[in-house]
Structure 1
Amino acid sequence: MAGFSLKCGDCGTLLKSVEEAQEHAELTKHANFVESTEAVLNLVCSSCGKPCRSKTETDLHTKRTGHIEFVDKTAEAAKPISLDAPKPKDDTELEEPSDGGSIQNEEMVVPEVNQQLLSELEEMGFPKERAIRALHFSGNVSLEAAANWIVENENDPDIDKMLLVPSSSSKTPEPKKQSLTPEEIKLKQQELKERARKKKEEDEKRMEREREKERIRVGRELLEAKRVEEENERKRTLALRKAEKEEEKRAREKIRQKLEEDKAERRRRLGLPAEESSVAKPSSVPPAKEEKASFLPVRPATKAEQMRECLRTLKQTHKDEEAKVKTAFSTLLTFAKNVATNPDEEKFRKIRLSNANFQDRVGKLKGGIEFLELCGFEKVEGGEFLFLAPHKLDLAVLHSAGSELNSAINNPFFGVL
């Protein structure tokens, strides 16, 4: 298949002819070219007809002019490339230069530009490389033309690279005579500086507006997040207060029930008849038997009731030693909690009775050891240890023990009556 372009093996640029390849080699010092079947792009602007050879050129053209529509005429312009060297127009072009060098190997140098205009551009803040390019391509005509070229080509990727041209074309024609007076030139310089200053101020104002919008947006988000957090906190507070009120109501009801149970228990022990709420006994029972039955419990005491009675006995027996009673209750609660939480740990199910701390906290107080025995502990090894065997471990009993101990610790009326 015939080739439609020459491709630079160093940078990948597509070139239409051998002449373009030679110019590319002179400018870049690239020497590796191969024939390619890929045609050079020919994207023609629909508005002004400017041809562009790459997507980069179309983007730059759009940025400079605002034109966005391009027609792809690559297929129409594609022609097989001729690899023959270009023929000279006349015999004089075949003559070698007087210095013995060849046209292709001509030395690349920095172009000569108007030094006065170059100094003025550098004083305006433009880099030397950019100023030389602007003066060279604008023909060293005027400061305004060079400045306009910089504005139009400021996005070129090589604008700040030093321009190199063949030595034969390095000398540019003398600049045309300035038609402006020195005062007009100074005014034009001031106008350019003012234009640059205004553009900078406009950019700064635009950035400040964007930053202000961002600050407002972030502020609104923070306020909304704070409002949501406060609303959630208010709901949590209301729920906590409601739970506290319900807990207080349950505690009062529990105290009332305790008082009624204690009152009924005292009446039972004193042999007094039950209150009206009590169920009447059958009339067929003989009076003697009825009187004897009044001293017996109405129903068998549950394990929880036995524990409650044991704790009540402990508190009433040591009512003048409130600190010891609280310590005993807390210690018993710790024993029950440790066993319920770690049922497989033997160290929590075995207590040495001779331990001084245990004796001081629980062992010497009436009802302490009895409460542990109700939890399932038994005396082993000649009464030296209290041990809760795994097969006798009942979590329901331990939970009941914990509930009774919590009630005894938190109920200010426990054991008073």
Structure 2
Amino acid sequence: MEATALESLIEMGFPQNRAEKALALTGNQGIESAMDWLMEHENDPDLDEPYVPPQGHVLAAEEPPEGRTAESSENRSDPTLEELTEEDNRRPLSEEEKREQTKRMLELIAQKQREREEREKRENIEREKQRRKQGQELSLIRQKLQEDEMKKLAEERRREKLEEKLAKQRVREKIEHDKAERAKKFGGGCSTSSQSSAPPEPVAPAPVPSSPSQEPPVKREYDQCRIQVRLLDGTSLTQTFRAKEQLAAVRLYVELNRRDGGEDPFVLLTSFPRRVFTEEDMEKPLQELGLVPSAVLIVAKKGNS
């Protein structure tokens, strides 16, 4: 039977080294076991190398299990040959029987191949399901992280806008308070000068009436000045400031009240005499810059002045 199994495997197209190794490593338990082994190890790099039996053993010399002969063990493990009788095992196979056995073996190979392909197909489907599941989980995690980051950024922008709004509101309230204080002081001075025959106080913008009996007028000290600011679009802003206020107050007033659509940095200048005010000038009072009692300032883009 060993020679018959080896010849059958060789006739089915298996190389001799491969067939001998398959039969030896399966304990010579028949063609079916050898074929199963060959299909499982078809990708082994040393599959076609000659089989070297362990020391003290030779090919087909393994002892059969206790209570079983090699012949009975092989017949039990190879169901495709169970119909053969003991007489058939002792005599060589005819060409017809060899062809029939080869046909059955080829059918068995095809069946094993189909089973293996089906098993690999199921395994591939399962792996693809696992891959898609892991991809969906990773996608959900990334989406959650992005949503958290967007919420964090939105909260930061909202807080920044609120702080900026509150800061502008405080500046507006301060300007309104200063305007109210100036208006109150300026209005009080006019009322006093109109009701009294005494010489007007220094805050009164109107000139002191002259008469032949009075002394020549002296240089008047003003504590307020009227500033007109011409914007980029031709419109203008007019506001009254204290003479001792810094030029920075005028710039802040323009930034908060301009409606010409300009948002770029700008400078203030006078046309006659021509003068461009610098950052150092912003810290100087209006009276020191010669802008009292009134002046016209022009807004120009920085770099184009």
TM range (shorter): 0.3 to 0.5
Larger relative contact order (CA 8 Å, sep ≥ 6): 2
Question: TM-score scaled to structure 2, two decimals?
Answer: 0.47
